[in-house]
Chains A and B, each alone.
Chain A
Amino acid sequence: MNQLFKYFFIIGLLWVEIQYSVVADEKQKISIVFLSQEKQVPAALSNLDAFIQHKGFKGAEMAIADNNTTGQFTGQYFELKPVIVPLGESVLAAFKRHAVDSDLFVVNVSDNQLLKLADLDEAKNKLIFDAVSRADELRNEFCRNNVLHLLPSRAMRADALAQYMLKKRWRKWFLVVGPTEDDKRFAQALRRAAERFGMDIVAEKQWLHTYDARRTAQSDVPVFTQDVPDYDVLVVADEQGLFGEYLSYRTWLPRLVIGTQGLIATAWHRTHEQWGAVQMQNRFKDYAGRWMEEEDYGAYLAVRAIGEAATRTQSNKVGAIKAYLLSDEFALQGYKGRPLSFRRWDGQLRQPVLLAAARSLVAVAPLEGFLHPKTELDSLGYDQPETLCHPGE
């Protein structure tokens, strides 16, 4: 009897195995390439935050797992193929090599490389999800219709900060700009925001790195901030974080710092807990062993957006997926209390922007009272009438 039972049990197991493999074969496969180039470790002010290579990859991996949990019910299978390009090697060549693998690319590359990628012949019928860039140029005059941007642009961030400063009546700004090209671009976005929200930049200075053994942050910053008209708030543009952290508590007048340091504008932050974000923070920390970075959030959303489109359309074709992503039906859950969607005019993901201090979430833009005829989310960044993105013209 016992033997007989065992016999049946083994047959049963085999049967389950056969069933399973049939199901696996029948599943619709959706392949996604995650393309990232290794980065030179930049100079840092302190050792508090370790440099993280290939930000975004862990976010993409987590989203793939989420997609596959859904996929087991919809008969779909999502595959993530990491393509890591070593420092100094060609991203374009890597893209070409893997062009046959998938039509869907989630990328963490420099702004210049992204533009070149998008213009490749091999990229014509691909959809590229930019998980990291903030460049307004890539959403305006250099926009491409095969690229979607997941993180907020510099203009969206500057507008979010400006809304908050207007609410606080901090109208007189002292703008401090770092030496890099990116700093100048963010300063440009801040000037645009100041104009949009009727703010007054009463002084502007460029921070220069000078190397003099007698100079310290303690003595340098008061001197640097002394010789300017009275201002309400110091607005800093230092994207790489080379000096901005030195400004707080050291200015000649006791003033708050806002911008890239002090109170910052970001897509994601470890202080963010509302709207189910706690679950996301915990899941990510368990999975990756560190806090979720903005780029991880960008890549997570990119892969989730693909999952959502593939599930709803029951398709693995790039055309159908893209059409769904740009349709009115698309509403992505992004743990920020509002459905996220893509702006059709420039491929930018519409989203709330978090205003965060180191250990507290201060506000979420768009702030109450900043109205918009369609959606208040479009009070941040380049709105349809302002866009310089006219692909195909």
Chain B
Amino acid sequence: MLKHVAGILGLLLAVNAVADTVYVTLEKDNALAVVDGEAGTLIKTMTVGQRPRGILLSKDGSQLYVATSDDDTIKILDAETLTEIGQLPSGEDPETFAQSPDGTLLYVSNEDDNQVTVIDIKQRKVVARIPVGVEPEAVAVSPDNKWVASASETTNMVHWIDPESHQVVANTLVDPRPRGASFSADGKQLWVTSEMAGSLMIIDVVSKKIIKKLTLSIPTVSEDKIEPVGVVIDAAQQWAYVAMGPANRVAVINAQTLEVEKFLLVGQRVWHLAFSPDQKRLYTTNGVSNDISIIDLDTHKVIKSVAVGRYPWGVVSRP
């Protein structure tokens, strides 16, 4: 009887949650891990290129873009077969990048050259190189395609690039070593993390001014271990999540009140985050413990950790 109930419950759960596939870059294994997001199991790992870091899914969901930093390129993989179908001229040592809302352009940070490279994905050609501050890392495109925001780690600024003219038209000084940047779904806010100050800044896109700064702190963790990196905001703008690096936690932030609600303990040195397509789950890459954590977003509980390989870095999910 009990078995039956459990079976039916299992079935119900399976029907409710939408299955997805999670792709994780493994910086030290030169590989890509493929995980069943719903079951929380590793399906396989495959060699992808040297020092893979940033990863994105194309807007139509058919391709994966993977920055293989030590190959100085961004590889295009067929999302179904995971075979390489081309490469993009990313410039040296590509790490993070963002897509234009229509999926035609890629904006790549080139840390060593202090510039953002704009690539036409279809043509596989460089369209522009935009000089920015020292060591640009985080890059994000606003949903209305009005702004490309590039944050430079040593200059400590967000550079506001006009995608039409490819010019930096405004700058916002932020806390030291900005690492993550995401626009809210309505395009009105840009959320930026500072690794060195342990803070999260919410910038008003119109005025380009910081409207709220949250200094993240946890009583049991020393201040200098709080080094936020990745930040994501859900489509409904209810919740935002910040990966806190060596503090080994994800901060859950109410996106309406802009206050921290709780901290979730995940694996060690958590850097990047990705939603499942239905936004029911959040995946975190934990670089030092070599796993990803799966967070259930209805209950805000960590439900599973999946060992994936050495130095998991970037993560995306696909239906």
Query: For window 59-115 of chain A, which residues contact chain B by CB distance below 8 Å?
Result: 66, 69-70, 73-74
Of A283, A312, A375, A377, the residue contacting B173 (CB under 8 A) is A312
Cβ B154 vs Cβ A66 within 8 A? yes
Cβ B196 vs Cβ A73 within 8 A? no
Interface string of A289-331 (1 = CB under 8 A from B): 0000000000000001000100110000000000000000001
Cβ B154 vs Cβ A377 within 8 A? no
Cβ A70 vs Cβ B156 within 8 A? yes
- Confirm or deny: B296 has a beta carbon within 8 angstroms of a beta carbon on chain A: no
Cβ A311 vs Cβ B153 within 8 A? no
CA distance A66 to B197 in the complex (A): 20
Cβ A375 vs Cβ B223 within 8 A? yes
Query: For window 206-232 of chain B, which residues contact chain A by CB distance below 8 Å?
Result: 222-224, 227
Give chain B residues whose Cβ lies under 8 Å from the Cβ of A353: none
Of A282, A339, A376, the residue contacting B196 (CB under 8 A) is A339
Cβ A70 vs Cβ B134 within 8 A? yes
- Confirm or deny: B133 has a beta carbon within 8 angstroms of a beta carbon on chain A: yes
The minimal Cβ–Cβ distance linking B147 to chain A, given in whole angstroms, is 16
Cβ B133 vs Cβ A70 within 8 A? yes
Q: Knowing A337-B246, A338-B224, A375-B222, say if A73 contacts B157 (CB, 8 Å).
A: yes
Secondary structure of the A contact surface, majority rule: helix
Which of B93, B114, B176, B224 gathers most chain A CB within 10 Å? B224
Of A66, A74, A279, A308, the residue contacting B176 (CB under 8 A) is A308
- Confirm or deny: A193 has a beta carbon within 8 angstroms of a beta carbon on chain B: no
CA distance A259 to B204 in the complex (A): 52
Cβ B176 vs Cβ A69 within 8 A? no
CA distance A69 to B156 in the complex (A): 11
Cβ A311 vs Cβ B154 within 8 A? no
Q: Knowing A283-B112, A331-B197, A337-B246, say if A73 contacts B159 (CB, 8 Å).
A: yes
Cβ B112 vs Cβ A279 within 8 A? yes
Cβ A276 vs Cβ B112 within 8 A? no
Query: For window 111-155 of chain B, which residues contact chain A by CB distance below 8 Å?
Result: 111-112, 114, 133-135, 153-155
Q: Knowing A66-B154, A331-B196, say if A73 contacts B133 (CB, 8 Å).
A: yes
- B168 and chain A: residue at smallest CB distance: A73
Interface string of A349-393 (1 = CB under 8 A from B): 000000000000000000000000001110000000000000000
Give chain A residues whose Cβ lies under 8 Å from the Cβ of B154: 66, 70, 304, 333
- Confirm or deny: A234 has a beta carbon within 8 angstroms of a beta carbon on chain B: no
CA distance A229 to B135 in the complex (A): 53
The minimal Cβ–Cβ distance linking A59 to chain B, given in whole angstroms, is 14
Cβ A311 vs Cβ B173 within 8 A? yes
The minimal Cβ–Cβ distance linking B54 to chain A, given in whole angstroms, is 15
Which of B93, B154, B157, B197 gathers most chain A CB within 10 Å? B154
Of A69, A282, A308, A337, the residue contacting B114 (CB under 8 A) is A69
- A69 and chain B: residue at smallest CB distance: B134
The minimal Cβ–Cβ distance linking A376 to chain B, given in whole angstroms, is 6
- Confirm or deny: B249 has a beta carbon within 8 angstroms of a beta carbon on chain A: no
Give chain B residues whose Cβ lies under 8 Å from the Cβ of A69: 114, 133-134, 155
The minimal Cβ–Cβ distance linking B47 to chain A, given in whole angstroms, is 22
- Confirm or deny: B58 has a beta carbon within 8 angstroms of a beta carbon on chain A: no
CA distance A279 to B153 in the complex (A): 12
- Confirm or deny: B171 has a beta carbon within 8 angstroms of a beta carbon on chain A: yes
Could you list 18 examples of A-B contacts with CB < 8 Å?
A69-B114, A69-B155, A70-B134, A70-B154, A70-B155, A73-B155, A276-B135, A279-B93, A279-B111, A311-B173, A331-B196, A331-B197, A333-B154, A333-B196, A338-B224, A339-B224, A375-B223, A377-B224
Interchain residue pairs A-B with the least CB separation, the first 7: A339-B196, A70-B155, A73-B171, A338-B224, A333-B177, A331-B196, A66-B134
Beyond A279-B93, A308-B156, A311-B156, 20 additional pairs, beta carbon < 8 A = A66-B155, A69-B133, A69-B134, A70-B133, A70-B134, A70-B157, A73-B133, A73-B157, A73-B159, A73-B168, A74-B173, A276-B135, A279-B111, A311-B173, A331-B197, A332-B196, A333-B153, A337-B246, A375-B222, A375-B224
